[in-house]
Structure 1
Amino acid sequence: MSVARIVLVEDDGDVRRRFSDLLDKEPGFTVVGAFGLGAPARRFIAEEDFDVLLIDLGLPDDDGRELIRLCTRIRPSAEIVVVTVFADSDRVFSCLEAGATGYVLKDEMPAGIVGSVRMVLSGGSPVSPSIARRLLARLGRPRRTGEKPSTLHSVASTQAIVARDGNGLRAVAPAAKGRAPVMSAAGEEALSAREREILELVAKGFSSAEIGTVLSVSPHTVATHVKNIYRKLSVHSRTEAVYEARGLGLLGP
């Protein structure tokens, strides 16, 4: 059985030790780094490989959101879960936009720290109930006047895919026959056939382990594909991915 390598960034020493002890006692988990400051955490993220980053936002010497952006950029396969006391919308959405795949409040952790890690490793997004309510409200609210639509759009299957950059329009790739590739405004590549296959199973409620069994790949490989789907669809959870994919016509109702 593979061991999940976990990094903790938490400035409260008592909380850091408690989380570290709980996780190290759990079969299949090992804490490979525990930091109370941002500077050593930055060095570790840059130099070492790991599977999960658990991070608080209120660091004495750094902004946790900047560490999330750093991790997303140089460790794209790592899962990132915010564990904090901050519940304001600005922090929640900026963390999710930076690349976090979970946001858990310290006083509102239904699954506990161990359950949150297990959830994110299986392809889920651990989110405290009050935070989930805000996300659902954001997904379901009507668009305000003048608000830009989603950055995603489908392209006709017989046309070339183009993206607008500083030099004008440029061709990216021809659309596959019979498919409607999904592109972001920045010209992200279309979902691959495997990613669409996984997305369909996600929509049916399969866990990463179950998808791995169906497709004869490891749960870690599935989790990597799921994270790529999140990036390409500009979403941060399975619920959002399915919602966005259905809106784009990639999935049935």
Structure 2
Amino acid sequence: MITIAVLEDNLLLSDRMVSILRGWDQVYSVCAFASNQAFCAHASAETVDILLADLNVEDGSGVESIAYLSKAQPESMSIVISALSDSESIVSAISSGAVGYLHKDDSSFEIVASIKTALAGESPISPAIARKLVGRLHSSAAPEKPCGAPVERTGQQILTAREIEVLNLIAKGLSYSECAAVLAISEQTVPVHVRNIYRKLHAKNRSEAVYEARFLGVIT
């Protein structure tokens, strides 16, 4: 059973999401908040497994709540549900700890299905958001060095061979159970490897881990 928090200052939308979530038999409790201050006060005292956060709330950007929860409760997960689709907002949310980003105009996403995707170790992202993110990463990538030039790869030896195998698979979008099947290891072992990968690469989620690993030359 999981606990879910909804950060949304549009009362109609907030009530709709809460109603949907309360109908899911895997949910223990759902709480709704219209401001960062109210949510952070709640998260300082209560466990939050999943945060569904808008980025435009009463007292600023929902990124504040995402960052607070990521630090206060590292095992939690945040998913953005926002009308904002500019690359700065996307990167800011993901860098702060969001594992998914759904656009409010994306009629294809379902709240429960998106949470299940996150719980399976994948990242629920609307196609339009994914394109913006890829474009941002491409534009900020460092230029290639001339052939034969020395390459600094300070993280080359950070990960073990098994961790690199796991990272390569999750970079391709495989779930934890699929990774376990491919590598013939226990499904419970995969999250352990993933946590070690995040810690060693100083990453908060899959997207950051893959980006850092590629930047360092750990994976291609």
TM-superposition CA deviations, 1:114-172 (whole Å, max 9, x none): 12111111111111111111111123337478xxxxxxx6339xxxxxxxxxxxxxxxx
In the TM superposition, 1:1-253 aligns within 5 A as: 3-141=1-139, 143=141, 154-155=153-154, 180-182=156-158, 191=159, 195-203=163-171, 205-211=173-179, 214-218=184-188, 222-223=190-191, 226=194, 229-230=197-198, 232-233=200-201, 238=206, 241-242=209-210, 244-246=212-214, 248-251=216-219
Q: What amino acid is aligned across from residue 71 of structure 2 in structure 1? A: R
Change (3 A) 1:41 1:237: closer
SS in 1 for 2:80: strand
TM-score (normalised: structure 1): 0.69
The answer for unaligned runs of 5 or more in structure 1 is 146-152, 157-179, 183-190
Find the structure with the greater CA-based Rg. Answer: 1
Distance 1:14 1:121 in 2: 26
Distance 1:223 1:33 in 2: 27
How many equivalent pairs are there?
210
CA RMSD of aligned residues (A): 3.1
Q: What amino acid is aligned across from residue 115 of structure 2 in structure 1? A: V
Change (3 A) 1:130 1:205: closer
Change (3 A) 1:69 1:123: same
Higher relative contact order (CA 8 A, sep 6+): 2
The answer for unaligned runs of 5 or more in structure 2 is 144-151
Structure with higher helix content: 2
Distance 2:109 2:199 in 1: 26
- Large movers: runs of 4+ above 6 Å: none
SS in 1 for 2:5: strand
Q: Percent identity?
A: 37
Q: What amino acid is aligned across from residue 92 of structure 1 in structure 2? A: I
Is the 8 Å Cα contact of residues 101 and 124 (structure 2) preserved in structure 1?
Answer: yes
